């Protein structure tokens, strides 16, 4: 891209010209969040994707989010700035293995976390996000056995919360599993008044010491409505951008990760593949586009619609 191009101005101009909407997740870089029409958690983003009247959706997030938007909008163009922006949770559930697992438990219904591929969604009975997972699990009759996939950490958290004995798939988020409990407790000793706020993709020992557990939007709302002055935030560091806008006078401290973590911080390498330059190019050339085979799309739509219905 020509250095003279003012990326933010061009993105805004192209967006208007093409009647496109930019949906961004809280884990995007601050410049992308600031130019987006909507910034939210996975539930909010899928609700926005379901409701939009724009002709084109540019998803500043990862692949499964763009896929969900496409499943809901087969006639709209859905663009993702970098198709390689995947997710370790989605990768952890290859469709062929998941099908075998599901076939071994034909009496179970399948509740699937939205962080999975369209093929996995097509094999699911109902989708959930971290914002509505408890409600979705509780919506299933008590005597009905459940498979929960692909996040075992969220699954364990839900088992504790709901008392339901679910069969868990062995998947995890590399970013949230990198939080180090020993370092977190050490940090808390230095800030004994700080409340710990954690995402349920984190491991059980992190969630056990958290004062609040919830989705990214839930975490922001908690910090906003709570009267404490200091918080330790255990999720991807991108959330600090919107959170600090909401509570400029509060102290927000990112939770520490293991030193051997690839970036020694809590950034999601997949989310961070998107840049302003790629966003601009993607709007300009209307590429790369997310496509979902129609038979899979139709099957995947049903459990997404069930989720949206329960989450109204």
With H, G, I as helix, E, B as strand and everything else as coil, classify residue 144.
Answer: coil
Residues 143 and 160: their CA atoms lie apart, in Å, by 17
Q: How far is the CB of 201 from ligand 13P (least distance, A)?
A: 6
Is 42 a residue that touches ligand 13P (CB under 6 A)?
A: yes
Binding ligand 13P (rule: CB under 6 A), the pick from 68, 112, 115, 274 is: 115
* Selection from 20, 42, 43, 39 nearest residue 31 by Cα: 39
Binding ligand 13P (rule: CB under 6 A), the pick from 46, 52, 153, 215 is: 215
Torsional sign, CA 213, 80, 89, 175 = negative
Q: How far is the CB of 193 from ligand 13P (least distance, A)?
A: 26
Q: How far is the CB of 216 from ligand 13P (least distance, A)?
A: 4
Listed ranges 138-146, 167-175, 249-257, 302-310: which one lies at the site for ligand SF4 (CB under 6 A) = 167-175
With CB under 5 to 8 Å by kind, the binding choice for 174 among ligand 13P, ligand SF4, none is ligand SF4
Burial of 186 (0-12, 13-18, 19+ CB in 10 A): exposed
Binding ligand 13P (rule: CB under 6 A), the pick from 20, 33, 41, 179 is: 41
Burial of 285 (0-12, 13-18, 19+ CB in 10 A): exposed
From residue 70, give the alpha-carbon distance in Å to each of 154, 176, 217, 226: 25, 27, 23, 37
Q: Which is nearer to ligand SF4, 177 or 286 (CB)?
A: 177
Is 242 a residue that touches ligand 13P (CB under 6 A)?
A: no
Is 239 a residue that touches ligand SF4 (CB under 6 A)?
A: no
Q: Which is nearer to ligand 13P, 281 or 307 (CB)?
A: 307
Q: How far is the CB of 156 from ligand 13P (least distance, A)?
A: 16
Is 268 a residue that touches ligand SF4 (CB under 6 A)?
A: yes
Is 87 a residue that touches ligand SF4 (CB under 6 A)?
A: yes
Is 153 a residue that touches ligand 13P (CB under 6 A)?
A: no
Pull the structure tokens for residue 30: 């601050």
With CB under 5 to 8 Å by kind, the binding choice for 270 among ligand SF4, ligand 13P, none is ligand SF4
Is 62 a residue that touches ligand SF4 (CB under 6 A)?
A: yes
Residues 57 and 249: their CA atoms lie apart, in Å, by 35
Total residues found in the chain within this entry: 312
The secondary element (H helix, E strand) that includes residue 155 is helix 152-162
Q: Which is nearer to ligand SF4, 89 or 133 (CB)?
A: 89
Listed ranges 38-46, 75-83, 220-228, 285-293: which one lies at the site for ligand 13P (CB under 6 A) = 38-46
Q: How far is the CB of 48 from ligand 13P (least distance, A)?
A: 13
* Number of shown-chain residues binding ligand 13P (CB under 6 A): 12
From residue 46, give the alpha-carbon distance in Å to each of 17, 41, 91, 185, 261: 24, 9, 20, 35, 30
Is 206 a residue that touches ligand SF4 (CB under 6 A)?
A: no
β partners of residue 179: 257
Binding ligand SF4 (rule: CB under 6 A), the pick from 8, 159, 174, 181 is: 174
Pull the structure tokens for residue 47: 């609700």
> How many degrees, rounded to 5, is the angle at CA 147 between CA 146 and CA 152?
125
Residues 99 and 90: their CA atoms lie apart, in Å, by 14
Which residues bind to ligand SF4, rule: CB under 6 A?
A: 27, 62, 87-89, 115, 173-175, 201, 236, 268, 270-271
């Amino acid at each position: 891209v020509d250095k003279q191009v003012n990326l933010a101005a061009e993105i805004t101009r192209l967006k208007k010209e093409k009647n496109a909407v930019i949906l961004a997740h809280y884990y995007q870089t601050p410049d992308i969040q600031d130019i987006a029409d909507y910034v939210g958690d996975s539930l909010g983003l899928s609700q926005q994707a379901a409701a939009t009247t724009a002709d084109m959706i540019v998803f500043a997030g990862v692949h499964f989010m763009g896929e969900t938007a496409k499943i809901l909008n087969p006639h709209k163009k859905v663009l993702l700035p970098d198709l390689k922006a995947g997710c370790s949770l989605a990768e952890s559930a290859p469709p062929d293995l998941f099908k075998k697992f599901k076939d071994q438990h034909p009496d179970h219904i399948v509740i699937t976390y939205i962080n999975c591929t369209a093929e996995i969604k097509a094999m699911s009975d109902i989708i959930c996000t971290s914002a509505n997972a408890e409600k979705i699990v509780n919506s299933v009759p008590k005597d009905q056995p459940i498979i929960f996939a692909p996040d075992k950490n969220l699954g364990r958290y839900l088992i504790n919360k709901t008392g339901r004995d679910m069969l868990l798939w062995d998947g995890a988020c590399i970013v949230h599993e990198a939080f180090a409990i020993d370092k977190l407790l050490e940090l808390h000793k230095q800030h004994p008044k700080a409340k710990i706020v954690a995402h349920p993709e984190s491991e059980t020992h992190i969630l056990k010491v958290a004062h609040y557990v919830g989705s990214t939007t839930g975490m922001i709302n908690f910090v906003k409505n709570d009267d404490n002055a200091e918080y330790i935030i255990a999720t991807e560091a991108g959330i600090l951008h919107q959170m600090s806008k909401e509570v400029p006078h509060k102290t927000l401290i990112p939770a520490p990760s293991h030193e051997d973590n690839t970036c020694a911080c809590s950034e999601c390498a997949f989310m961070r593949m998107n840049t302003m330059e790629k966003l601009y190019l993607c709007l300009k050339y209307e590429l790369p586009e997310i496509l979902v085979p129609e038979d899979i799309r139709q099957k995947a739509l049903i459990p997404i619609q069930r989720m949206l219905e329960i989450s109204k």
